[in-house]
A and B are shown apart, each in its own frame.
Chain A
């Protein structure tokens, strides 16, 4: 009999607890503190089920809540806010640990700490670039100038790196939150400037490159000029529509077109493909133009002295 009663009481208690599940555990158990005793008293006293005499467990829970009053409600909101923060922190800690395991160094934040000195050096470099670009006549972005002011640039960079590292060592010991916030903000600002500096660097290479490299719209990688009799021309310079010298052929094509590669199938430091590199080996032969008196083309030997020099102007169809 008592076993049945206690199991009924347990069931009732469980349902009340479930109805209070949204409360923080401590507050919930506080509300339920006396309930087991009370249910035992009620059960011992008389007939009828607990629900008959006390109402439904859910209604009982609602009454407990109501009596606990506004204070409990306020605490609940505060609890939910702290719970969100607590869960967020726990999630970050778990991610920290998991990433650390991936990197093989305990915690990812430990690894981040190892990177601090590296950032201090980089930060000094960025700082130097800012100073130099602010005072220099011509902006060089993050790159060193290739003029005589290189030594000035180097001196400023070294000085800034030293200052940055020393500041990093000192500021690591700072504990006041506002001081740490200022340092973090300055670091973030410099990191943003670093990214911008990289973009300007990329821009510069994009703008300067086209004057040296010519990209053929048909995907050609080399041009071999021949004269009207079908003889390959040497000493030829090709210009594009802007009068800029044409330099077709990447270094890779040059290597594969080199005579040494043709001989032993091994890319070497032989002469490069034309016009950027030397001619390929063996050189293709070409029939003379119709109506031109054919003089036998020197297929394998270089035309020596008095070889014709021509200048072609190419207007690519872009």
Chain B
């Protein structure tokens, strides 16, 4: 099964989740996601997701000057983003447990 197809549906949730505790700039967020195990995540996908979440009003941004290289645009989750994260997490957990049960009943080897 292609992980990238699965990622499309949960990218918003994943990005909101990694911003839950700490603000981050684009590449930083990408690294966190990869470190967490989503190795197949595409660079452009993360940036596109950040932009979409910002446009939806779930994130705020601020620019931090950097001495080496261009300024970094940091993303921070806001109250609306946390609400959205809570709702999406619920949907995901329900979906994931349904899938787990489905697979567990069949006795499929993990």
Please give me the residue from chain A that is nearest to B69 by CB atom: A40
Complex alpha-carbon distance, A127 and B44, angstroms: 68
Chain B residues bordering chain A, tally (CB within 8 A): 20
Within 8 A of A (CB), among B47-71: 47-52, 68-71
B51 & A42 in contact (Cβ 8 Å cutoff):
no
Complex alpha-carbon distance, A31 and B43, angstroms: 12
User: Would you call the interface of chain B mostly helix, strand, loop, or mixed?
Assistant: helix
Point out the residues of chain B lying under 8 angstroms from A30, CB to CB.
51
- Contact of A306 with B by CB under 8 A: no
Given A34-B26, A38-B26, A42-B27, CB of A68 within 8 Å of CB of B52: yes
Please give me the residue from chain B that is nearest to A41 by CB atom: B27
B69 & A34 in contact (Cβ 8 Å cutoff):
no
Point out the residues of chain B lying under 8 angstroms from A69, CB to CB.
52
B27 & A35 in contact (Cβ 8 Å cutoff):
no
CB contacts between A and B, total, < 8 Å: 59
- Contact of A294 with B by CB under 8 A: no
B44 & A60 in contact (Cβ 8 Å cutoff):
yes
Contact pick for A41, options B45, B52, B69, B71, CB 8 Å: B69
B45 & A37 in contact (Cβ 8 Å cutoff):
no
* Distance of A144 from chain B, by nearest CB (Å): 71
Complex alpha-carbon distance, A63 and B41, angstroms: 11
Point out the residues of chain B lying under 8 angstroms from A31, CB to CB.
48, 51
- Contact of A85 with B by CB under 8 A: no
B69 & A38 in contact (Cβ 8 Å cutoff):
no
B43 & A37 in contact (Cβ 8 Å cutoff):
no
- Contact of A54 with B by CB under 8 A: yes
- Contact of A67 with B by CB under 8 A: yes
Complex alpha-carbon distance, A126 and B72, angstroms: 73
Within 8 A of B (CB), among A73-122: none
* Distance of A242 from chain B, by nearest CB (Å): 88
Complex alpha-carbon distance, A55 and B40, angstroms: 13
Known: A37-B72, A38-B47, A41-B27. 11 other contacts (CB 8 A): A30-B51, A34-B51, A37-B69, A38-B26, A41-B26, A42-B27, A60-B43, A66-B48, A67-B44, A67-B45, A68-B48
- Sorted nearest first, the 10 A-B pairs with minimum C-beta distance are A67-B48, A63-B44, A41-B27, A40-B69, A64-B44, A37-B70, A34-B26, A67-B45, A34-B47, A63-B42
User: B residues within 8 Å of A by Cβ?
Assistant: 11, 25-27, 42-45, 47-52, 68-73
User: A residues within 8 Å of B by Cβ?
Assistant: 30-31, 33-38, 40-42, 44, 54-55, 60-61, 63-64, 66-69
